[in-house]
Structure 1
Amino acid sequence: MNQVIVQSSLPVTLIGGGALGVDDLETALALAPALIAADGGAGAALAAGYMPEAVFGDFDSLARVDLDRIPSDRLFPIREQMSTDFDKTLRSVSAPVMLAVGFLGARVDHQLAAFNVLVRYPERPCILLGASEVVFHAPPSLTLDLAPGAVVSLFPMRAVTGRSQGLDWPIDGLEMSPDGRIGTSNRATTGVVRIETDGPGLLVIVPRDALAAVTRALAPDAVPPAPAPGPRRVRA
């Protein structure tokens, strides 16, 4: 079931319970001021001094002491065990774009599961923020302003074809697939990169300092021109 529970006209920051860098949350909130959490990510949000506006998941990773601090009308339990908490959250929230922290790093199987979810919900634009890179699913048409020479890795999660401009190695005429040709360690040439795909399934991996450019590319009308009111701070 893909029922939308929360709708936001602003970009949303999603915090998970995985590895979290020192400034990951603040970096995301500067661009996406509404804060939601996937299960144990709510505990990380509270520890950082933020009260999430909504929490999704089966709550098996959320400590009781943290659960009791969150108002009941912000809790949205989804008890089935056939999907991850990232899956449960992504399918339940409609926003121009989500910036997800606490999903990369640490366990490889969790990272692969997150990539799987990105591909299965192409209608839910989401950027995974890592220590040095950001990862997102390529929309049908993408234009990115990048520094010349920036690494642009393209990793297919299913067979996919497309076209590109502004890359050292164009993808025109290539069929990429997880067990065939991939596109890691490509590079931006002039700084403006354009990618078109003929179907879903292509992940794009670019340097972390391109986060703002990626956010604007995926949600050009939704990024606030000035800092918007952020989530409410809570007492420690």
Structure 2
Amino acid sequence: MIKPIVHSEEPVLLVGGAIGDNSQLSDLLEDATTVVAADSGADWLRALGRLPDVLIGDLDSVSDATRHAMPQDRVHHIAEQDSTDFDKAVRSIRAPLIIGIGFLGGQVDHLMAALTVLARYPHRAIVLVGPDDVVLHLPPMFEVALTEGTRVSLYPMRPVTGRSTGLTWPIDGLSFSPETRVGTSNKALGPVSLTMDDAGMLLILPVQERARVQQALLRADGLWPVL
């Protein structure tokens, strides 16, 4: 059992090193009570005039200037190289919701690694925010109030089935897997309800739906068991 570094009763903002839109990060900072940086995410924060409350990672990317600007008791070096800095941060945070930014832009391999971490922790409530999209791992039941025509994409990280209401193309009776069937660019008819039979499905929505997604995930009736 890994001892958590960060405990919060409120959502935690986690900032990664795939630097994106400064205004998007600034907006997220306005509502954040606890801000954690994964390695070089601290440099992005410092460039906006904010140091993270906690820095976590293998620290091979963060600048010396940023690292030395922080009180050393807020710097947590996790040296192992078998996991990404995003993974190290997620398993070190205990909070009702993690909002991650700086993980969906930049290199494609880093983006794919972040999605793999979402699939690895289906028992955690995590929303990744990118320039154009938000991504989360679907809990067993998820309801979100969308407007008609909103793009709704489902991407399976392993074989999974489920049921839906409120989609132009319902998913009932379909078998999804990365090798055979994915559910990109479906559309909402209005409010959407998704019920999954097992863990493994990612939901991708336009970034404009971020607030609704966060509220819906916090309202969700239970997450998946710990793998």
* 2: CA distance, partners of 1:27 / 1:123: 27
User: Shift of residue 93 of structure 1?
Assistant: 0.3
User: Shift of residue 116 of structure 1?
Assistant: 0.1
Q: Report percent identity of matched pairs.
A: 46
User: Which ranges of structure 1 fall in alignment gaps of 5 or more residues?
Assistant: 222-236
Contact 1:152 1:186 in 2 (8 A): yes
Q: Are 1:210 and 2:175 matched, yes or no? A: no
> Could you say which residue in structure 2 is the equivalent of 1:19?
19
> Could you say which residue in structure 2 is the equivalent of 1:176?
176
> Could you say which residue in structure 2 is the equivalent of 1:97?
97
* 2: CA distance, partners of 1:127 / 1:27: 15
Structure 1 length-normalised TM: 0.90
Q: Secondary structure at the match of 1:35?
A: strand
Question: What one-letter code is carried by the residue in structure 2 that aligns with 1:210?
Answer: E
Contact 1:162 1:174 in 2 (8 A): yes
Q: What pairs with 1:2-41 in structure 2 (closer than 5 Å)? A: 2-41=2-41
> Could you say which residue in structure 2 is the equivalent of 1:232?
none
Higher-RCO chain (CA-CA 8 Å, sequence separation at least 6): 1
Question: What one-letter code is carried by the residue in structure 1 that aligns with 2:174?
Answer: L
> Could you say which residue in structure 2 is the equivalent of 1:195?
194
Once the two structures are overlaid, the 10-residue window that deviates more, 161-170 or 18-27, is 18-27
> Could you say which residue in structure 2 is the equivalent of 1:64?
64
Q: Deviations over 1:146-181 (max 9, x none)?
A: 121100000000001111110011111111000011
* 2: CA distance, partners of 1:7 / 1:13: 12
Once the two structures are overlaid, the 10-residue window that deviates more, 18-27 or 45-54, is 18-27
Contact 1:16 1:86 in 2 (8 A): yes
Residues 62 and 214 of structure 1: is their aligned pair in 2 closer, same or farther, counting only changes over 3 Å? same
Superposed CA RMSD: 1.3
Question: What one-letter code is carried by the residue in structure 2 that aligns with 1:212?
Answer: A
* 2: CA distance, partners of 1:27 / 1:135: 18
Contact 1:32 1:98 in 2 (8 A): no
* 2: CA distance, partners of 1:31 / 1:91: 22
User: Shift of residue 185 of structure 1?
Assistant: 0.5
Q: Secondary structure at the match of 1:181?
A: coil
Q: What pairs with 1:141-156 in structure 2 (closer than 5 Å)? A: 141-156=141-156
User: Shift of residue 6 of structure 1?
Assistant: 1.1
User: Shift of residue 30 of structure 1?
Assistant: 3.9
User: Shift of residue 29 of structure 1?
Assistant: 2.6
Contact 1:19 1:104 in 2 (8 A): no
* 2: CA distance, partners of 1:184 / 1:41: 30
Contact 1:135 1:203 in 2 (8 A): yes
Q: Deviations over 1:121-147 (max 9, x none)?
A: 112211111111111111111001112
Structure 2 length-normalised TM: 0.93
Q: Deviations over 1:72-128 (max 9, x none)?
A: 111111000000000000111011111111111221100000000001011221111
> Could you say which residue in structure 1 is the equivalent of 2:138?
138
User: Shift of residue 213 of structure 1?
Assistant: 0.2
User: Shift of residue 26 of structure 1?
Assistant: 2.0
User: Which ranges of structure 2 fall in alignment gaps of 5 or more residues?
Assistant: 221-227
* 1: CA distance, partners of 2:29 / 2:79: 28
Question: What one-letter code is carried by the residue in structure 2 that aligns with 1:123?
Answer: H
User: Shift of residue 31 of structure 1?
Assistant: 4.2
* 2: CA distance, partners of 1:45 / 1:187: 35
Q: Secondary structure at the match of 2:90?
A: helix
